[in-house]
Copies of this chain bind each other. A is one copy, B any other.
Amino acid sequence: MKYAVLKFGGTSVASPELRERVAEKIIATKNEGYLPVVVVSAIGREGDPYATDTLIQLAKQTYRDLPKREMDILMSCGEIISGVVMTATLLAKGHPAVFLTGAQAGIITDRQYSEARILKVQPQSVTKFAQEGHIVVVAGFQGVTEDGDITTLGRGGSDTTAAALGVALNAAYVDIYTDVEGVMTADPRIVAEARTLDIITYDEICHLAHEGAKVVHPRAVEIAMQKGVPLRIRSTFTDAPGTLVTTAGEVYKGAIDITKDRVVTGIAYTPGIAQFKVSVGSDPEGVKQQRRMFRALALAGISIDFINVLSNVVLFTVKDEMAEKTAKVLENTGFKPEVITGCAKVSAVGAGMSGVPGVIADIVEALTKDDIQVLQCNDSHTTVWVLVKREEMEKAVRALHRQFKLDQ
């Protein structure tokens, strides 16, 4: 019998009614002949005493600078409490079930408290209990170091737990249950015609997630990708099949000409960006100036993005809230930057665009036709980024969605 890993986020387990629904999903999976392994996040309802944020508040009220080691131990209780309650829900429905902490489930991590990396999974307890006929419920978001210190995995940590267990158990699939029906071609609040994708590659969903789409944590996708364990992004609240995340071979199989099938898979966006334009003079002086500038920014701990070097001008972006500090650092180093705050990055992601000529030209043309000013653009083999003014962001997302016929 094959394993199936099911991960439920904090909003999915926040009330008895929701936990009933979650239990039904789990039992349905069992009835389909899988050995279900369930990963839960802390109860996510705001103000709930066992929500991660509430636990953090409790500690911070006493001491703002609580060491991360202790903060991790404290936070780990959130997933333990929701996991035990979820186990109780399954037992109440007459299904043998057992709960394991991250440590008990063999999630071994490094010592980077608050954003530990999983080093390996030792799933002996999981397999023992599952083979005995138990539904195994595992606390997400947490692990343990080799010498017994409790760690947490950072943002999206429960997704990562689920993917790592999926790989360790060689699971048939890892279902990431959430409050949306799957991965969409764009944010439906911006694009009314946005569709749920049936299928997407690991690479594409990683890029969409990195570019601001909040469906699954990229680290979880990277882990699943390593062994080719299929992920499914599904809704706790409906019976829709969701989006299957798999290899490009699976996604594009049967496509005679993938450029006709799908160049762009989805559109993502990130607001709150500031663009910097810095003149560095012409070479050979320019190269030295550039080096001096980048070193000054690195020393100041400023992380920059979207770097374009155009003859004697350097363009890059920082987060809006870092704009003032960045300007000061540059001025102190002898530069006179031009700054545009309030920008947004709009990204078109698609494995099918790799090697397809003219995609970036199509994008710039589509935006210009709609009177959207392109402040900067850039591309890699699966993503095109465009920097626009924040007030034109929604318009840009819609224009690109239309341009690549994502509504069809």
Contact = CB atoms under 8 A, between A and B. Distances in A.
Nearest to A125: B148
A103 B85 CA distance: 22
Interface string A53-81: 00100110111011101110110110011
A329 interface: no
A16 B19 CA distance: 34
- The secondary-structure label for the interface of chain A is helix
B104 A85 contact: no
A89 B89 CA distance: 36
Contacts of A85: 58-59, 62
A73 B84 contact: yes
A55 B81 CA distance: 8
Nearest to A85: B62
A63 B80 contact: no
A46 to B, nearest CB: 15
Contacts of A67: 91
Contacts of A70: 84, 87-88, 98-99
Interface in A84-129: 84-85, 87-89, 91-92, 98-99, 101, 103-104, 125
Contacts of A99: 69-70, 73
B74 A80 contact: yes
Contact of A62 (B49, B62, B88): B88
B63 A73 contact: no
A149 interface: yes
A59 B73 contact: no
Contacts of A77: 77, 80-81
A91 B63 contact: yes
A312 to B, nearest CB: 52
A150 interface: yes
Given A63-B92, A91-B63, A91-B65, A84 B80 contact: no
B148 A62 contact: no
Residue in A62, A65, A71, A101 whose Cβ sees the most chain B Cβ within 10 Å:
A62
A3 interface: no
Contacts of A55: 81
Nearest to A147: B125
9 closest residue pairs by CB, A with B = A49-B49, A63-B88, A62-B88, A63-B92, A77-B77, A74-B84, A63-B91, A70-B99, A66-B88
19 contacts: A19-B62, A49-B49, A59-B84, A59-B85, A59-B88, A62-B89, A63-B88, A63-B89, A66-B88, A69-B99, A70-B88, A70-B99, A73-B80, A73-B84, A73-B99, A73-B101, A74-B80, A103-B148, A104-B149
